[in-house]
Amino acid sequence: MKSKYIFFAVSLLAALSANAQETYENAKLAGEDLNGTARYVGMGGAMEALGADVSTIGTNPAGLGLFRRNNISVSGGLVMQSNGKEFANGNKTNPSFDQIGGVYTTRTGQKSFLNFGFNYHKGKNFDYILNAANSLNGSSQNKQSYIKGMLGDESTGGFYVDKNKNGEYIGYVNATGKSVAYTWSQIDYLYWNTLIPSNNAANPTYNYEPATAYDFNRSHTGYIGNYDFAVSGNLNDRVYLGLTFGIKDVHYNAYSEYMERFAGSKGAKVVDDRKITGSGFDITAGIIVRPVAESPFRIGAYVKSPTWYDLTTSNVTSLAYYNGAVNPNKTISNSYDYKMWTPWKFGFSLGHTVGNYLALGVTYECEDYSRINSRINDGGYYDYYGDYYESSSPDRNMNEHTRQVLKAVNTLKLGVEYKPVTNLSLRLGYNYVSPMYSSDGQKDPGIASFGTAYSSTTDYTDWKDINRFTLGVGYQFQQFTVDLAYQYSAQDGDFYPFSDIRNVEMNKKDPATGKITKVLESNTATGTKVQNNRSQLLLTFGYRF
């Protein structure tokens, strides 16, 4: 199943009664950017053992236990894309409101505190424009839909095509089943009702258009907002404990145009507008320990629960077929609810200070994205008091695909802060984030899942590792602080307009004789190297009292 060339699923979910989402769409919501206060970003986020910054509320809330005074802060700046061309409503430079929060401290003993904190920060900024273009050498997006129809059965990753009572082509489970196949996607519907059938209504034949090249543009906008509420305790200035309850607010928008050029002046254009909204919550627990009373050296550890997301996705997708004559076009739209659970996250950190002029931090995190749990909403129940609870169950087919395509991500954060004078701080940081995607992963259009059925695009990108470089400066004047940080994030990826299929055996009917023969069909996409390189300028104003 991890083959780059034959990737159709052959197993089926016995009964699907609601909705789930596709692996690559889920992956867009997983993980977090490096963001928060300018001090936190300037040190590469390596403050999970050093603490005393409100941004640690979402990673290691024990860091709030190191506060000795009340504190409030607010942050904002600019996010700038360094590559690509502007498209549709996407801009390469965007303002961003990134953080606001504070910590309230209460003394419970001579060396003990009980602190309370709240912080909002933009956990993920989706503002990004993706551009890709390349040759296709006879393969095409519509050929993928054609091959699925020729397979003729959901159990082999395809569907059986027939007309419904409204005269539309529909993909069914098999030649005798009356249920629509879960392998029949929205993009399949568009192609089978515009391009693939011939104009002979009495005795139609089916074929595909080979493409010479493609051009693709997509603008992503939106964000995931994190709202964290925490309590943290300090025991004799040696042990620090913290607990955070987090709420996430999802707003993701993507608008894309995909154009294929066929022989002559013919071509096809798919326009897709998709939105994902919803909310989620998680819980984070952490600890920081100073093992030696006379030393400022600290060890931190923390664990974050899955984020339990309840989401809604909607799309409007249209296809225009330019064949020089009739130029048929078709539009489809859908909306549905689904759930997604992210994996557990574990972190370990070290921190050390030298006098009041040097701070050093290192953090390691691990999160296994192959364990993302795509969930099917399968109804609910009322308890004894009349309260309604919605239930869900795993989408086993899609989750199996996720385990093959995604993998565990390891993150290393390094940070240093140096004070040449008492009220001036200079900071430097670095992050390495290992790849989330397998090198041979791809979308599987033959999975029997609602994630496939509601798919309106076929493209995917296998993103590689991330390198982040940060630097910052901070100035303190009496009770006020001003911090500035710069971050540069670099990531390469391989973009594909559709999945590869090679040497799939199927039946093909000769329109003249009616004779059916066995043929081997292939459809291989040309990948394009893409980049997601971004810069961020971040400014934080703080007040201590």
Q: Give the global pTM.
A: 0.91
List b or e across 124-153, with b for residues whose CB sees 16 or more CB atoms inside 10 angstroms. bbbbbbbbbebebeebbbbbbbbbbbbbbb
Report pLDDT for 183: 96
Report pLDDT for 97: 97
SS3 per-residue string spanning 382-445: ECCCCCEEEEEEECHHHHHHHHHHECEEEEEEEEEEEEEECCEEEEEEEEEECCCECCCCCCCC
- The per-residue pLDDT for range 155-191, each reduced to its tens digit, is 999 999 999 999 999 999 999 988 999 999 999 999 9
- The per-residue pLDDT for range 101-142, each reduced to its tens digit, is 999 999 887 777 899 999 999 999 999 999 999 999 999 999
Report pLDDT for 108: 82
- What is the C-alpha to C-alpha distance for residues 453 and 188, in angstroms, rounded to an integer? 9
- The per-residue pLDDT for range 215-224, each reduced to its tens digit, is 999 999 999 9
Q: Please, are residues 438 and 405 in contact by the beta-carbon 8 Å criterion?
A: yes
The ranges of the chain with pLDDT < 70 are: 1-20, 200-202, 325-326, 381, 383-384, 509-514
- What is the C-alpha to C-alpha distance for residues 337 and 340, in angstroms, rounded to an integer? 10
Listed in sequence order, the DSSP H helices in 370-517 are: 396-405, 450-453
DSSP reduced 3-state for 153: coil
Residue-wise DSSP of 516-543 = EEEEEEEE-PPPEEEE--EEEEEEEEEE
Please name every residue paired with 312 in a beta bridge, in sequence order, or none if there are none: 277, 337
The class that CATH gives domain 23-132+210-544 is: mainly beta
Please name every residue paired with 132 in a beta bridge, in sequence order, or none if there are none: 216
CA torsion angle 258 261 265 267 (round to 10): -50
- The per-residue pLDDT for range 390-422, each reduced to its tens digit, is 788 888 999 999 999 999 999 999 999 999 999
Report pLDDT for 225: 97
List the domain boundaries for the chain: 23-132+210-544
Please name every residue paired with 254 in a beta bridge, in sequence order, or none if there are none: 220, 274
**33, 435, 486, 409: which is closest to 222 by C-alpha?**
33
